[in-house]
Structure 1
Amino acid sequence: MNQNGFRHILSLSGGKDSAALAIYLRDRIPDMEYVFHDTGKELPETYEYLGRLEAILGKEIHKSTVENGDFIGFDQLLKVYGGMLPSSHRRWCTRMMKLRPFERFIGSGKCYNYVGLRADEDRTGYISSKPNIIPIYPFKEDGLVRGDIVNILEESGLGMPPYTEWGRTRSGCFFCFYQQKIEWVRLKETYPDLFEQAKAYEKPGKKATTTFYWCGNEPLAELEKPERMEQIKREHELVKARKKANSANKSLMNILGGVDDYESNEGCLICQL
């Protein structure tokens, strides 16, 4: 806590931007506190990545979802919501497993909340509207873009999150509804057990005839059919080819900053930065 009574808080998602921000600010703000909102449904690589980051920072990362010795994760909350899976229209997962634990961790005291939005991103996000939590955007203020973030991670020895090696673009739960369909295919191929767990959640909610799916109206049981998976792969390659052909229309910032053409800006900031 600094002299004006403010705490310094950096919320980690397990993604590249928040990890790079933690490294970027490590020596600039020695009293920084780090917090990770564990849903209990993260990818194995996320926990391993955070463990390595913890060693680089030389500080413990607080796990905010454990309260009074009890773990409050996705399965517990799904029962409260009657089996209704979260979606882009009903993001109770973000509210209950990310935002609420974050605000509980901070309490009523004043704090600066450091957020890893980059200078090459044109988006805002729902983090917290509490007046005692003041957001700070160091990457935006200092003009850092994606290429800079990759350099920070590589130079520190941490590197990019391991799940990017098999094609996942975001941190967060392994069944995140913001995933692209190609990412579901890659999850099926890389972690068939986790895919099966995600599929098992797709069933009618309590006192309802509606069946909730992760991918809009397409059940994972349909998506995993070999012919459908091949179709998704073909369509993904066509999209990549079109974007590559249109690369001459990139903005100057994209060219200089090394922005990933296939990086989606959809998602919850507190989950995926």
Structure 2
Amino acid sequence: MIEHHVLGLSGGKDSAALAVYMSLHYPELDIKYFFTDTGKELPEVYEFLGRLEGFLGKPIERLNPNRDFDFWLRQYNNFLPSPNTRWCTRKLKLEPFKKWITPWLSNGDRVYSYVAIRADEDHRDGMIARQDNLIVKLPFREDGIDKPGVLDILDASGLGLPKYYDWRSRSGCTFCFFQQKIEWVRLKENHPEKFIEAKSYEKDAAEHGSPFKWSQGESLDDLERPERVEQIKNDFEVRKRRALERRRPNPLRDQIESPVDIDDLYQEDEGGGACLICHK
């Protein structure tokens, strides 16, 4: 039986750290690294993937090169995806991956898929394998590697974090509907052209009768009003201070402190969360 080893990269810190970890600890495995490209990623994501390729010494295969977000948006009559209607995840992430590995599975080969769920993420599960010869592996959970451990791996490799972590906590599309309000504000500040593009999608969707907006409860036109931006920033700083006050020191990690990032401040009424395959 032929064995295939695959590891999906989102452009985020966890999957990148897992790729580094597997290449160093399991060099005997011929792992195929892949990235399902939506065509709407941050430029910092592509830059980071290029540096990761240099570290791994092998190319990262790009899936989905011809049918990007714009293609599927047209197929869905300009209806925006939403947390309850995630056609973007299905069409741009899951289906290209399944199409890629189906010939191997159909031939009776065994496919090992490595997923970057950490030891401190008990609430998360990997993709449920529906074929006996597709085996999902969670090396970080099995080896007890948590978020500070991920940061250690990236720091030791010399890669560090993708540059967008200076202002954003996730990879994925520039207009991901799982972004929190503060991330939309920072997108406007760091990539104003991407914010303008997101607004144009929202307006086109409204003209086609789509009930969804990118950000829960308000349009991007409303969100970018100066007084609203100031309120969002102030609210975020309050939540951040509260999170720091609640944090208990970990005696096992007295030298390394994992930063409070935006996902740590997730609120049900303000976005947050994310599709696992998009931002890990």
TM-score, normalised via structure 2 length: 0.88
- For residues 103 and 254 of structure 1, the distance between their equivalents in structure 2, rounded to whole angstroms, comes to 39
User: For the Cα contact (< 8 Å) 1:203–1:212, is it kept in 2?
Assistant: no
SS in 2 for 1:130: coil
Counterpart for residue 190 of structure 2:
190
Q: CA deviation at 1:107?
A: 1.3
C-alpha contact 2:129 2:136 (8 A) present in aligned 1? no
Pairwise CA RMSD? 2.2
In the TM superposition, what are the counterparts of 1:54-203 in structure 2 within 5 Å?
54-66=53-65, 71-108=66-103, 109=105, 110-125=110-125, 127-131=127-131, 132-165=133-166, 167-203=167-203
Identity percentage of aligned residues: 46
Q: Distance in 2 between matches of 1:172 and 1:125?
A: 19
CA distance in 2, matches of 1:112, 1:254: 32
Does the 8 Å CA contact 1:99/1:128 hold for their aligned counterparts?
A: no
8 Å contact 2:79–2:210 — kept in the other structure? no
Q: Tell me the matched-pair count.
A: 264
Per-residue deviation, residues 11-68 of structure 1 (Å, max 9, x unmatched): 00000000010010114143000000000000000000000000110111100112xx
The aligned residue for residue 16 of structure 2 is 19
Asked whether 1:53 is paired with 2:52, we answer yes
1:82-130 per-position Cα deviation (integer Å, ceiling 9, x unaligned): 1111111001101100000011111142211000111111222463543
Specify every segment of 5 or more residues in structure 2 that has no aligned partner in the other structure, as ranges: 265-272
Q: Deviations over 1:202-238 (max 9, x none)?
A: 1364995344310123100000111100000000001
Indicate whether 1:215 and 2:215 are aligned: yes
Give ranges in structure 1 of 5+ residues lacking alignment.
none
- The SS at the match of 2:170 is coil
Please identify, of 56-65 and 103-112, the stretch whose mean Cα deviation from structure 2 is larger.
Answer: 103-112
**Post-superposition offset of 1:246:** 1.7
Shift, 1:263, TM fit? 4.7
Indicate conservation of the 8 Å contact 2:126/2:136, yes or no. no
7-16 or 258-267, which moves further after superposition?
A: 258-267
TM-score when scaled to structure 1? 0.90
- Kindly tell me: are residues 51 and 23 of structure 1, through their superposed partners in 2, closer, same or farther at Cα, counting changes over 3 Å? same
SS in structure 2 at match of 1:26 = helix
**In the alignment, what sits opposite 2:268?**
none
Contact 1:204 1:211 in 2 (8 A): no
- Give the equivalent residue in structure 2 for 1:236: 236
Among 3, 6, 18, which residue is 1:6 paired with?
A: 3
Q: Aligned-pair distance for 1:154?
A: 1.1
1:32 lines up with 2:39 in the alignment: no
Question: Is the CA contact (8 Å cut-off) linking 2:93 and 2:278 kept in structure 1?
Answer: yes
Cα drift, residue 254 of structure 1 = 8.8
Q: Which whole-Å CA distance do the structure 2 matches of 1:157 and 1:141 have between them?
A: 24
Aligned AA for 1:229?
V
Secondary structure of the residue that 1:53 maps to in structure 2?
helix
Give the aligned residue type for 1:55. G
Q: Which amino acid aligns with 1:230?
A: E
Contact 2:10 2:35 in 1 (8 A): yes
Q: Which residue of 2 aligns with 1:272?
A: 279
Q: Equivalents in 1 of 2:46, 2:194: separation in Å?
A: 15
Is the 2:82–2:212 contact (alpha carbons within 8 Å) kept by the matching residues of 1? no
Q: Would the aligned equivalents of 2:5 and 2:112 in 1 still touch at CA under 8 Å?
A: yes
Query: Alignment partner of 1:63: what SS?
Result: strand
Distance 1:182 1:79, change over 3 A: same
